[in-house]
Structure 1
Amino acid sequence: MSGNTPTPTPTPPAPLPPPPAARPARYDFLNSKPPPNYVAGLGRGATGFTTRSDIGPARAAPDLPDRSASAAAAAGPAVGRGRGKPTGEDDGDDDGGDEEKGYDENQKFDEFEGNDAGLFSNADYDDDDREADAVWESIDQRMDLRRKDRREARLKQEIEKYRASNPKITEQFADLKRKLADLSAQEWESIPEIGDYSLRNKKKRFESFVPVPDTLLEKARQEQEHVTALDPKSRAAGGTETPWAQTPVTDLTAVGEGRGTVLSLKLDRLSDSVSGLTVVDPKGYLTDLKSMKITSDAEISDIKKARLLLKSVTQTNPKHPPGWIAAARLEEIAGKLQVARQLIQRGCEECPKNEDVWLEACRLASPDEAKAVIARGVMSIPNSVKLWLQAAKLESSDLNKSRVLRKGLEHIPDSVRLWKAVVELANEEDARLLLHRAVECCPLHVELWLALARLETYDQARKVLNKAREKLPKEPAIWITAAKLEEANGNAQSVNKVIERGIRSLQREGMDIDREAWLKEAEAAERAGSVLTCQAIVKNTIGIGVDDEDRKRTWVADAEECKKRGSIETARAIYAHALTVFLTKKSIWLKAAQLEKSHGTREALDALLKKAVNYNPRAEVLWLMAAKEKWLAGDVPAARAILQEAYAAIPNSEEIWLAAFKLEFENNEPERARMLLAKARERGGTERVWMKSAIVERELGNVGEERRLLEEGLKLFPSFFKLWLMLGQMEDQLGNGAKAKEVFENGLKHCPSCIPLWLSLASLEERISGLSKSRAVLTMARKKNSATPELWLAAIRAELRNGNKKEADALLAKALQECPTSGILWAAAIEMAPRPQRKGKSTDAIKRSDHDPHVIATVAKLFWLDRKVDKARSWLNRAVTLAPDIGDFWALYYKFELQHGTVDTQKDVLKRCVAAEPKHGEKWQAISKAVENSHLPVEALLKKAVVVVAVEENANSAGA
């Protein structure tokens, strides 16, 4: 084929392939001849048989030209060499081969669709494809979620493994840092000082050493010499002359120390040595700064630059008032007051209609000239309210001030500020006349109308408010003032009518009634003493804009917020309105009763509870609360009557039976209490009834009856552990150790997870059989009840009681591994640690136990031992705040106040403890549940607990 062969014209694209049913059979591509100019891997970016040695290192392959038939003819010798075809050979298939395949073989490889990017490039992306992609996407997300937990666990394990193999420096040396607290002073001093062995900034230089001359040594000796006697010549002359040669050399070090001492004394005089706060008068200090003269060259140059700049401003634009004011203030700062007055006078001449310039001129003028300046100002600007007010301020007497203000009102009759100022200076009668004129001149200002209504009589005030309402129909303050007026004059029935009419009138005028704003008005009325107005506002506005299903929750929240802000009457009014809507909601009755109990009278509380039980006769808690309040008031017959009514309303209520029993039992009526419990048992009482019955017999000393009741109760309720405990404790107190052991073992068969039973059995075994048997019981208990701190603590204390300190430490370490967040175990760890290590233990305990009250109380005892009274008081207060139901903390706190507090702090702790009524605590329960202390008040129990705490602390200190 010759070189000038014409290029064949490209054939039109082949038609679309027929449907799959009409397509011919697939060709065997592996055994057929490749199409002309086929290059293997060309679609993936390959370039034939090119190797790295051909293209060189890190060089991208060049883009190949289009290998059409003519291109193949031109490059035939290079490409066809590898295919076994002669140069220029044409098999007749390359004209339409690419078109039949539907894609270009020379295109680059597509990273998303692979080498088949062009097969479906013209196909439509229909709904089926979109649905399929969505299905595959959901499958991928589901598979990713399934692998998420394993992936996160593997990542967490790798992080922990890395941290274990690469610990921080602070973690590696934490234990060593704690041991530094045990070092003595001699060991600290023996630590060698580390020297500077770095080679940085150390230049090798030649150093020569020359012997010191004798004259220098003699001079040094004379300087260090201290003369302790006067010169004989000076004594002979009366000691008034001292030769210069014999004057001792001044010690410069002593002089420097003296200067530092003098400076510290001066600073101490200027500061408070207790709190560190300055006592320098800030006003006087600023005055002193103003009187300082400018001596710095930089400040002088800055003032000169500013003066030139402001001079340019005033010359180029003399009608610009801020420029004159700034120039005058600059001269004032520079100390040239006369120049400043001259400048501001020129400013007044240039800008006579600007009130700021006149006010500045009045400020800079002397007191004698200020009135003349302000007079010229009001003549220039007669409608300036600021200038008239300033002119009145310059007058010394109220009469002259009133004259000036009235003169100003002649020019500005609609100025509210001037009217207010002149009314404040007038007496009541003159003020009333002035306000009549003021409301005529300023009819749209509500404060003037309200002020006039306050000064008028009842009938005149009503007329004034009616006129104000005509002028200002959209002002709610007028209606509220009218309601307060009616209340102040004893018209209680009219208060609600006025507020109701006012709200309707405002709604007709198109006003939106903002419930929050009206509640604030109700609180303001309460603070002003208008309780009926407050109640009327709440009644008529509390339900506006609140959905029916949200009314209860919203109203209760509003009442609680008002209660927090101290608006008790507003909260009471909200609850009263809510109870008119929700008569059968006992939660609202309870909250209203709590409000009356804390902020109301006993009579109001009794009346409220009486209404509550009338509307909610099936609510046990309301009956019990009403009876308790009567009991606390000392009216036992009334409380008994209420409980009888409650029993008639709720015949089978166990709570009412038990409340009646407690009322009789606490008031030394054991026979009544016994009869009530007998009736409760006959009517099928629960385990609590049997327990209370046994308690009554125990206090009366009827051991046989107590045993009978407990045994019968256990037959009916074998899984109630308190009955097993009471029976075992009774046998133990009677000296029947074997019988008590049998009872405890039988109880554990029915209640294997009851920790008090295990502890009682272990204590009994320790007293009867010794430590080994008790240790076995506690070990068995820990196996059946894992991660129970109380069992670990009992085992630790048993070892300590028997002198096994090492075994106790080992048990404590195991316990903290099993229960790492237990507060009682960390508290025991702090107390068992040596004194130098307790601080570190406390830090670890607070971090691990998440501010447990037991740990906080133990740390407070450490502060107490270190005589850090304030910190100990703060931490004890935190402990009783976190756990007010634990009486041991209250006993510890009260003992601390008895030792370090005042009478007021002691009374405060006692009052708070009585209000908390603690029921738990290791020492507290042992005291409160004793038979001899069963009827003692909280105050007496607290004092007994303090004695027990004091004895234990003394024993611990003696053992330490």
Structure 2
Amino acid sequence: MASVNNKLAFLNQAPPANYVAGLGRGASGFTTRSDIGPAREGPSQDTINAARAKRGEGPESGDGPGQEEDADANQDPENETGLFAGTVYERDDEEADRIWQSVDDNMDARRRKQREAREKAELEKYRAERPKIQAQFADLKRGLSAVSDEEWATLPEAGNLTGKRRKAAAARAGNDRTYAVPDSVLIGNRDRTATESSLSAEQMEDGTATAMGTTTSLTEIGEARNKIFSHKLDQAGSSSRADGTASSLGTSSTIDPKGYLTDLSSVNVKSSTEIGDIKKARSLLDSVIKTNPKHAPGWIAAARLEEVAGKMAIARKVIAQGCENCKMSEDVWLESARLNTRDNAKVVLARAIAAGLTTSVKIWLKAAELETDTNSKKRVIRKSLEYIPNSIKLWKELVNLEESHEDARILLSGAVAAVPGSVDLWLALARLSSPQEAQSVLNKARQTLPSSHEIWIAAARLVEQTSNDEGKAADETQANLDRTMATAVKRLQKAGAVLNREQWLKEAERVEREGSPATCAAIVKATIALDVEEEDRRTVWVEDAQACVERGCIETARAILAYTLREFPDRQSIWRLAVDIEKKHGTPQSLEGLLERAVTMCPKAEVLWLIYAKEKWQGAGDVAAARQVLIRAFDKNMGSEEISLAAAKLESENGQKQAAGLLLQRARQEVNTPRVWLKSAVFERNDRRTTEALELVREALKRFPTFWKLHIMHAQLLEAVTPPGEDGAHFRAAREALTAGLKACPTSAVLWINASRLEERAGLAIRARALLEKARLKESEDKDVLWHEAACVEERSGNAPQAKALIARGLQEHPKSGLLWAASIWLEPRAARRTRSADALNKTGDDARVIASVARMFWNERKTEQARKWFERATKANADWGDGWAWWAKFEAQHGTDDSRRAVRERCIRAEPHHGEQWQLALKDPKHPNRRTEEVLDVVSAALVVTT
């Protein structure tokens, strides 16, 4: 009994067979360390399935054919998904995985050769047992090479044979039979495409039964169509109304009976996306105006939304509600007037004024704008001035409506009395008054507005106009204007209205554009020295003058330079700038007066004397006056090389050869410079006295052995004097002269190039290359010119790749040489020239040669407008480069008009270029001396060859 009543007695009893602790609560899915070793065998599968079935986790019996196995039953023991799924993957684990991966890779690499050999053998064995179809027919394909063309042509088509075999087989099988088609099939096919043109009795009623069993009402369809059509008509009428009113407001709508279909076609059909956006915006704006009914922008936005949606009636209704809620907002009333017709808008604006917006200038101006005749507009604006007498806009609008100057002047008198602080009204009154009355008006304005510089400027302009009408002298007028503007600056500074120098210059430019140059000069004289340090005045004033010239304000620039020259009368650079401006924009008389003052103030400035003489000679055509100018210049500048040569040139080109020779002889004695000796030899050569020229050059070489131009001319004269023979005596004499010159001037690149070209003319291209190679080893001045000449030698010899290689080597030493970059563009293939030109522009900037090459490239591509722009840009980059002008003239001769050709020629003559390879060859041609600029332009443009 004790054992029976003891609840823990089962602990001492033996467990039942196949008992597993915790199996009933699902604790049988793991093993412990104590289970490993001599532990007893676990429960069988049947026992586990029975326990699971008791818990409702699976079937009661063992595995059957339809049972699902546990997902973790066959799990890989090395897979950590179940066991270590929640652990952290640390750095030690990563290192261990990396080590094991390296071990696996090493073991795989050790067995790779054996594995690949084994797989290859297995593949070969498999292909031998089961070859591909193409491998089975490989021998037959090789045999097809022996088939002749006739055998190929006699081969039958595969489809024909197949069809024949199929028909033959069907005939042998006895399947060639025919069957009779029933009449019902024929009748059904006949009625399938037939059209019924009559209705039955049932169909004549309102409803029509369809094939699906539903009923379609033709009457309802017609009514719906009429509704849609009427809606479209209303919509078109509201959008295209000329002077009718909206039908939603109860008035009639006017529609053009001839053009309503066109209006219907112009109606925009909203997409589903736009309709959705409009709905969203409508809900948002509805929330805005309901939350804050006094918010005027919300009502305006809501009305414009309905306008965009095409519902003008709703838009007018919304904006009318906005006017009721925001009576003091002028924007809401203006929007309502805009959305309504002209007559309704007048009513709306009248309601706005009645609501209290009597001081709104915009309302009154809009009301005047809605009126059709001028008298009604005047009446509205006069009514508005009763409420807003100090509105400048209203006064201006009323004055502009007056057609009579006298009535406008009377109105302006009342305007300045009502608004005395308006400068514009005072100035307008002064413009409409007579000169005497205008003077009194401006005096009153200066008393009323002492801080207004516009009134002082207007007074000065009035003085200038009056003086011009009365015929007063320019000096007297300018003196009065100077006093007026000086007083104006003092009064304004006292009143506290201080303008800086830049603002005064802008006013001077404005006055110049309005046609008052004397007032402009007075403003500049009175204000140019403001806010400028003593030591910076000359630099700042010259920069201001150049900036005014760039903006096209020539009178302002003249006034600035005139004041600057009064302060710095001995500055040659300032006089030269003033002369250039006067030469381009002035008259011959003004230029002559300026030059006379310039040479008087700067008597030692040779350039000014030469410009003065040239203007007398070529500009005015007065040779005697030019000769007098040069005599004066020589008296002021004894021993001047430039003046002596200019005097000789003047006499030579005007046929006074003997006088020119005497002047040069005197210059050789008094001046004795290498340039004088060179010009003397050139004069003798041009006069066909080659022997005398040669003697002068030899004498000059004794005096100046290092002047390279003399050596070049010596070689040219020897080549011309020595008679050519079979042994090339003239080449040998010139070669000896150039060799002596190279010893005396080893750094002259031009001398080396002349020696190379001499050898090339003699047919010795190898010696020409050697000379240029030797020249590049010297410390010459312009090595890029030597590289370019070497490339030209190779190109003339037909060796374009070597020329390209030389240009590339030259660019390595001179990466910013425009000469080499321009040559490299034309050595590239046509497809690569655009990229090469872009690189050249990036490296060289505004080099005229590169820009001209780009223009020529556009020329080849038939892009004439772009080519013309780039040619103009090239001449602006370097106006002294004559080859650029010649290329542009050649382009205009092919693609331009008479005006464009004439414009290029005139601009080239004004520029007077002196440099350029082809230009100098034509300019200094001994056979054609003293060529003019236009003649050289024609010769060079004709000699240029267009590269494709």
The alignment's TM-score, normalised by the length of structure 2, stands at 0.65
**Offset of residue 929 of structure 1:** 1.2
**Separation in 1, partners of 2:786, 2:282:** 87
* 1:438 alignment partner in structure 2: 415
Letter in 2 for 1:632: Q
**1:399 corresponding residue in structure 2:** 375
2:912 corresponds, among 899, 908, 917, to 917
User: Which stretch of the first structure deviates more once superposed, 748-757 or 334-343?
Assistant: 334-343
Residue equivalent to 1:480: 457
Provide Cα deviations, 1:265-308, integer angstroms capped at 9, x if missing partner.
xxxxxxxxxxxxxxxxxxxxxx9999435563x65565556555
Q: Is the 8 A contact 1:670 1:696 kept in 2?
A: no
8 Å contact from structure 1 (residues 697, 706) kept in 2 = yes
Distance in 1 (CA, whole Å) between partners of 2:843 and 2:573 is 39
1:730 offset after TM fit, Å? 0.5
Query: Measured at CA, do residues 477 and 692 of structure 1 come closer, stay the same or move farther in structure 2, by a change above 3 Å?
Result: same
SS at match of 2:901: helix
Alignment match, 1:277? none
Distance 1:460 1:759 in 2: 79
Q: Percent identity?
A: 47
Q: Quick check: 1:673 aligned with 2:668?
A: no
**Partners of 2:511 and 2:519 within 8 A in 1:** yes
CA distance in 1, matches of 2:409, 2:904: 56
Residues 323/872 of structure 1: CA separation in 2 closer, same or farther (3 Å cut)? closer
Residue 320 of structure 2 is aligned to residue 345 of structure 1: yes
Q: Does the CA contact (< 8 Å) of 1:927 and 1:944 recur in 2? A: yes
Paired residue for 2:925, among 930, 940, 949?
A: 930
Structure 2 residues without counterparts, runs of 5 or longer: 1-90, 93-161, 167-189, 195-262, 723-729
Corresponding residue for residue 110 of structure 1: none
Q: Which residue of 1 aligns with 2:626?
A: 639
Distance in 2 (CA, whole Å) between partners of 1:321 and 1:846 is 58
Q: CA 1:554–1:288 in structure 2 vs 1: closer, same or farther (change >3 Å)? A: farther
Q: Partner of 1:417 in structure 2?
A: 393
| Corresponding position of 1:186 | none
Distance 1:862 1:517, change over 3 A: closer
SS at match of 1:932: coil
Q: Following TM superposition, by how much is the alpha carbon of 1:681 offset from its aligned partner in structure 2, in angstroms? A: 1.4
Output the CA distance in 2 between the equivalents of 1:357 and 1:807.
Answer: 81
1:97-131 Cα deviation digits (max 9, x unpaired): xxxxxxxxxxxxxxxxxxxxxxxxxxxxxxxxxxx
2:882 corresponds to 1:907 = no
Name the residue aligned to 1:753: 747
Q: Sort the Cα spacing of 1:601 and 1:288 in 2 relative to 1 into closer, same or farther, 3 A.
A: farther
Cα contact 1:724–1:747 (8 A) shared by 2? yes
Query: How far did 1:369 drift?
Result: 2.4
Deviation at 1:944, TM superposition (A): 1.6
How many residue pairs were aligned?
A: 675
CA shift digits 1:10-35 (9 cap, x unpaired): xxxxxxxxxxxxxxxxxxxxxxxxxx
Q: Is the 8 A contact 2:603 2:633 kept in 1?
A: yes
AA at the equivalent of 1:566: G
Q: Work out which of the residue numbers 486, 507, 512 in structure 1 matches 2:493.
A: 507
Contact 1:371 1:394 in 2 (8 A): yes
Change (3 A) 1:440 1:577: same
Preserved CA contact (<8 Å) 2:690 2:721: no
TM-score after normalising by structure 1: 0.64
Shift, 1:759, TM fit: 3.0
2:636 partner amino acid: A
Matching residue of 2:520: 534
Question: CA separation of 1:833/1:465 partners in 2, compared to 1, >3 Å: closer, same or farther?
Answer: closer
Q: Structure 1's 399 and 825: CA in aligned 2 closer, same or farther, altered over 3 A?
A: closer
For residues 798 and 372 of structure 1, do their structure 2 counterparts lie closer, same or farther at Cα, with a shift above 3 Å needed?
closer
Once the two structures are superposed, residues 825-855 of structure 1 have per-residue CA deviations (whole angstroms, 9 ceiling, x without a partner) of 5655665667787778767767777786555
1:628 maps onto 2:598 in alignment: no
CA distance in structure 1 between the partners assigned to 2:322 and 2:799 by the alignment: 97
Mean CA deviation greater in 750-759 or 869-878: 869-878
- Pick from 347, 355, 363 the counterpart of residue 372 of structure 1: 347
Q: Alpha-carbon deviation of 1:925? A: 2.2
SS of 1:443's partner is coil
Deviation at 1:334, TM superposition (A): 4.0
Cα 1:891–1:324 shift into 2, 3 Å: closer
Matches within 5 A, 1:42-61: none
Show the 5 A alignment for 1:255-654. 291-292=267-268, 294=270, 296=272, 303=278, 307=282, 310-311=285-286, 314=289, 317-381=292-356, 382-426=358-402, 427-490=404-467, 492=477, 493-633=479-619, 634-654=621-641
Structure 2 residue identity aligned to 1:722 = K
Pair 1:699 & 2:660 matched: no
The amino acid that maps onto 1:729 is: Q
Pick one of 880, 885, 900 that aligns with 2:880.
885
In 1: Cα distance, 2:334 partner to 2:299 partner: 12
- The Cα of 1:723 is off from its aligned counterpart by 1.1
Instruction: Report the alpha carbon displacement of residue 401 of structure 1 after superposing the two structures with TM.
Output: 0.6
1:895 is matched with: 890
Offset, 1:936: 1.7
- Distance verdict in 2 for CA 1:314–1:289, change over 3 Å: farther
Change (3 A) 1:394 1:654: same
1:602 is matched by which residue type in structure 2? P
1:685 to 657, 661, 672: 672
Separation (CA, whole Å) in 1 of partners of 2:896 and 2:786: 37
Paired residue for 1:661?
648
- 2:751 and 2:921 map into 1 onto residues whose CA distance is 15
C-alpha distance after superposition, 1:526-561 (max 9, x if no partner): 111112211111111111121111111111111111
In the TM superposition, residue 769 of structure 1 has moved relative to its aligned partner by 7.7
Q: Which runs of 5+ in 1 are unaligned?
A: 1-56, 59-212, 218-240, 246-286
Q: Could you give the per-residue CA deviations for residues 875-905 of structure 1, whole angstroms, max 9, x where no partner exists?
A: 5555545444333343333223323333333
Give 1:768-807 correspondences, 5 Å limit: 768=762, 770-785=764-779, 788-795=783-790, 797-798=792-793
Contact 1:513-1:544 within 8 A present in 2 as well: no
Contact 1:933–1:941 (CA<8 Å) still a contact in 2?
Answer: no
Contact 2:800 2:827 in 1 (8 A): no
Distance 1:331 1:807 in 2: 76
The alignment partner of 1:934 has SS state of: coil
Farther off after superposition, 717-726 or 384-393: 384-393
Q: CA deviation at 1:911?
A: 2.8
Q: 1:289 to 1:505 in 2, by over 3 A?
A: farther
Structure 2: how far apart are the matches of 1:407 and 1:761?
95
Structure 2 Cα separation of the partners of residues 849 and 556 of structure 1: 29
Does residue 727 of structure 1 match 2:718? no
Contact 2:349 2:367 (C-alpha < 8 Å) held by counterparts = yes
SS at match of 2:746: coil
Deviation string 1:130-172 (CA, Å, 9 cap, x unpaired) is xxxxxxxxxxxxxxxxxxxxxxxxxxxxxxxxxxxxxxxxxxx
Give the letter for the 2:721 counterpart: L
Structure with greater Cα Rg = 2
Match of 1:738 in 2: 732
Deviation at 1:742, TM superposition (A): 2.4
What SS does the aligned partner of 2:927 have?
helix
Identify if the C-alpha distance between structure 1 residues 710 and 844 changes in structure 2 by more than 3 Å, giving closer, same or farther: same
The answer to whether the Cα contact below 8 Å between 2:849 and 2:874 also exists between their aligned partners in 1 is yes
State the Cα distance separating 1:943 from its structure 2 match. Answer: 1.6
1:814-833 deviation digits (Å, cap 9, x = unpaired):
66666666555565566566
CA–CA distance in structure 2, aligned partners of residues 895 and 396 of structure 1:
61
